[in-house]
Amino acid sequence: MKVFRLSLTLLATQLLLSCGGGGGGSGAPSIQPTPTAPVTPPTPAVSSNLESQAQGTINGTISYEDIDRAFILYVPSSYSSSSKQPLVFNFHGYGSNASEQMAYGDLRSQADANGFILVHPEALDDIYGRSYWNIKGWSQSVHDDVKFTENLINLLMDKYSINAERIYSTGMSNGGFFSHHLACNLSASFAAVASVTGSMTYDTYDKCNPRKPTPVMQIHGSLDTTVPFKGSDTLNMKPIMDVMEYWKTNNGCDDYLLSTPQIIPGTLSWAETYLYDNCLNGTQNILLYVQGAGHIWPGSIFESIKSPDASHRVWDFFSKYDINGVIQ
């Protein structure tokens, strides 16, 4: 009899459990919560005062993430929305600004003659209150200038007819450093870069991770004490030959061929060309070494050394390439 009662008790317990019983006694099956997908934060809105298709010299602003950034755009009179134009970024040096770079490293005559749009972005201040492109070098900044550049590309492509395969970056000093930095961190957007008196910081060099080969031009003076040709551990600057060796390896180039020195008329200076040929996609890397030049943009109206004309040489270099390599 005890065995029979125990069996009934076990049977009742099993029935209760199978019906989801216990506690409330309603017999209703339990409801599991529906998993929800993670919420993606909205992309910060980007706004600007820039009007579509405006021509001439335009002082522009772009705002995102509660930050206002300035730039000066130069659109030649030959611009037409019916055809896609190249876009050239021209970045100023440390402590300078967009207006000074537009005059000092002047590419406007090249833009007029060759039909490209020219933009001069302006950096924000570092911890010392001086304008600085954030390359994690001799100074410190909290600003993401790579993101700023990316946003500015998107804005200009929205407002103008721009060839996305022909976007280039050049700059003076800190702007030259930043051009190398962009080739490392935004290579998918830039067809080629040119640095005038810039280099790479150790941080840029060590973390450089380009997604493709990028043709590189470097213009540098032998007497540059601001950014020494042989580099500086104290200033966190790589030697120029190390920088060129990095891009030789990344771009799959041959060892350089050194040209016969070219005397610069009216001076005691000369220029040598280090040509890294047979790179991937039919490209080249070029180092122009200007003996007797300091921390300058050669060819600037403010400098006595007029050759090699950096503005002319930079555009001549850019004009050969698009994002896929040499233009066929």
131: in domain = yes
Q: What is the pLDDT of residues 269-281, one digit of tens each?
A: 889 999 999 999 9
d(CA 310, CA 46): 34
Does residue 5 lie within any of the structural domains?
no
Distance CA 281, CA 283 (A): 6
Work out how many domains the chain is built from and give that number.
1
Question: 102-120, pLDDT tens digit by residue?
Answer: 999 999 999 999 999 999 9
Within a domain: 204? yes
CATH (domain of 51): 3.40.50.1820
Asked if 108 and 102 touch (Cβ cutoff 8 Å), the reply is: yes
Domain presence at residue 100 = yes
Range of the domain at 150: 45-326
Could you read off the pLDDT of 246-276 as tens digits, one per residue?
999 999 999 999 998 888 887 778 899 999 9
Q: Is residue 297 part of a domain?
A: yes
Higher pLDDT, 209 or 12: 209
Structure confidence at residue 10 (pLDDT)? 38
Question: Does residue 36 lie within any of the structural domains?
Answer: no
Q: Of how many residues is the chain composed?
A: 328
Distance CA 47, CA 63 (A): 5
Least trusted range by pLDDT, from 37-41, 85-89, 159-163:
37-41
Q: What is the mean pLDDT of residues 46-72?
A: 90
With respect to residue 38, please indicate whether it lies within any of the assigned structural domains. Answer: no
- In single-letter form, the type of residue at position 5 comes to R
CA count, 13 A, side-chain hemisphere, 318:
29
Q: Is 34 part of any domain?
A: no
